[in-house]
Chains A and B, each alone.
Chain A
Amino acid sequence: MGQIFTDLGGELITLLISVISALPYLILYVGLILAAYFLYMQVKRRLSPVRDYTSLKTVTFGDESAVISNKAASVISIVLIFVIWGAFTGSALLPKFLHAPGPFVGEASFTYTVEAEGGQTADATVSVLVHEVGEKPETPVVIENSGSAKNDALVVQAYRSKLLRWDANDEVTRKDGAKIVAVDGQPIDRDTDVEIGFGRVALTDKGTLNFEPAKGWQMESIWLPAPESVWKRLISVSQDGYQNVTLAEHLSYSLFRVIVGFALGAAVGIPLGYAMGLSNWFRGWFDPIVEFMRPVPPLALIPLVIIWAGIGEQGKIILLFLAALWIMAIGARSGVSGVNITKVHAAYSLGANKRQILRHVIIPNSLPEIFTAARVAMGVCWGTVVAAELVAAEKGVGKMIVAASKFQDTDIVLMGIILIGIIGFGIDMLMRWGEKYLVPWKGKA
């Protein structure tokens, strides 16, 4: 027990250090937000001011109705995300001056000093050529020099490093007891690296040199591809597919699972909720089951569902059915319980029988709650299907990104995440639109 606390304490400290080291960036971002705000206010003041009711309010701080989402802020924030993304990936969409400093690319040289066993020293120059990914340049020509240490040449790809067996052509070698004591005049040993203008030189345990060109501030595309390469991947995957499955196929499989799973969950959950809302016996029967199953995240059921139903469509549908079922049942139950008793009394004294009350009072009255539950359930289903596909699937957008991650196709992973977000947002917008159109009386009782 004590061991657990020590371990967790250690983890916590590591986390806190990460958070603290991220703080300056966070403060920088907040600074950007405020700077954009003041800039926006300056521009707005220059333009003709809008005179609406809200602008005449003297009390706005604390007045919730006076806080309206500022469209300009939304646009700036989205644009800024893409600018930051582009700046740190060297995107061609951005003008060069906005780019963060990139990795060193080009020719340069540094010198090393060899000390032979006797104590005599000799210098040699290493001509370095750092090239971009995919290029195969020729090794730079080495100018012959006199002296026991001969000049070398080194070709390195940006973001990589390379060992230099400096004594391969020298008269004094490591076998003779010679060793490197300085790089560009700065002393070097196994524990002390030397920073040179375009990179860093380290001495390995075996006495060779390890050169690592400067990485700059940009991300390598394997970590974060540029926006345009994600876009290009989107085009190519939607046309040619990825691993013999087209994007449309991936997306339709995921959507198919969500829609079928949700529909089944609603088809069972809504009547179940009604039964629980209308009958003591059903309420008592299902309350423990529903209340127990509701807090179990559907993702926790994935292993069991895979054991029972395998990784085919059935398993996914069962999982999504379970994800939607409890949410819909609880929504329908509270929709029924939420009916104002005066409405039911009124309907009875207008001569309605039980069936008519259910049809004309209880069901319409519960629709707003059911719609709210459906929105939640759709969101949960969409999240669950992606997670289930991450674990095991043959097709689906989750499967696509997990497959891409194994080949470090980060552009496809990013594309998939963006698509998942857009589709999830689209589903929610669709539900909201349906709500507005089908239950216009929501919240107006």
Chain B
Amino acid sequence: MRRGGDAQCQIGTMTGLSIQNLSMRFDLPNGSHVQALKDVSLDLQQGELLSVLGPSGCGKTTLLNIVAGFLAPTEGQIVLNGHQVHGPDAERGMVFQKGALFEWMSVRDNVRFGPDMKGMPKSESAEIVDHLLDVVGLQDFKEKMVYELSGGMQQRVALARCLANDPDVILMDEPLGALDALTREKMQSLVLKLWKETGKTIILITHSVDEALLLGERLLVMAPRPGRIHKEYRLPFADMGVGADLREVKEHPDYTKTREEILNMIWNMEEEIMGRTEESA
């Protein structure tokens, strides 16, 4: 309903996502406060894949929740395709780590939840569901209940469900964090494939440096207290990884070098946090 909008709402770049001077301050009951985010600005073009990495407490999940519209920032704004974001909306789909599927529905009903809510006729949504389940490789599991599937399969359903709604931006909050290493590798390839095929703008939050390097066309390293952008990279590995073996990408000399650099960066941040906690203790 806000999409398109009237002329007064048109701010910033016309296509793509713009995060402008975002700050988030939580007031605690004891009178103190936590600065979860401080002055975070970022522009994403349509079709870019951004991975966000950082030690715990750097505000990356807060950032994602603000973009999704679950939290209102204390300062700054989010502008998507020229209009300001207020609250959650189907234009910004979200994939969670786990527990976001509806156990009382079959795989098919989960995937067509978005179209159903919009009132799309079943005949129309059936086509979308069939296509997406084909893409994520679950065509044989359409009638199964989601609790009958493995963790990896459930995340495939979550991806398909998000795509079925055809959002402009896909927000992924550690979508592969609960999976085992092998499944995770397969799912990383799937995410890359879906990204290239659909051309969606994706923000992916992860704890894994490898995942951030492999999937992120752009990579954001965030620092804690207050949560802020520490460094940004533009990486070639996501493009290399599309349709290729991710293990080969990992052997690229640049990959190893960047990986070491980022690991050191995060290591130092963690050390600093530890030091500060010990001082205050």
Contact = CB atoms under 8 A, between A and B. Distances in A.
A351 B118 contact: yes
Interface residues of B, number: 29
Contacts of A351: 89-90, 114, 117-118, 165
A442 to B, nearest CB: 9
Contacts of B141: none
B99 A340 contact: yes
Contacts of B100: 340, 342-343, 345-346
Interface string A344-383: 0111111111001000110011010000000000000000
Given A350-B161, A356-B117, A360-B113, A444 B103 contact: yes
Nearest to B98: A342
A119 interface: no
A24 interface: no
Nearest to B97: A342
Contacts of B255: none
Contact of B89 (A342, A349, A439, A445): A349
B165 A343 contact: no
Q: Is the interface of B mostly helix, strand, loop or mixed?
A: loop
A441 interface: yes
Interface string B201-219: 0000000000000000000
Given A342-B96, A345-B88, A350-B161, A445 B147 contact: yes
Interface in A97-129: none
Contacts of B102: 343, 360-361, 364-365
A255 B104 CA distance: 32
Interface in A191-242: none
Interface of A: 340, 342-343, 345-353, 356, 360-361, 364-365, 367, 439-441, 444-445
Interface of B: 68-70, 87-90, 92-94, 96, 98-104, 113-114, 117-118, 145, 147, 161-162, 165, 167, 171
Given A345-B68, A349-B90, A352-B117, 15 more contacts: A342-B96, A343-B99, A345-B94, A345-B96, A346-B94, A349-B92, A349-B93, A349-B167, A351-B114, A351-B117, A351-B165, A353-B117, A367-B104, A441-B145, A441-B147
15 contacts: A343-B99, A343-B101, A345-B94, A345-B100, A346-B101, A348-B88, A349-B69, A349-B171, A350-B113, A360-B102, A360-B117, A361-B102, A439-B104, A441-B104, A445-B99
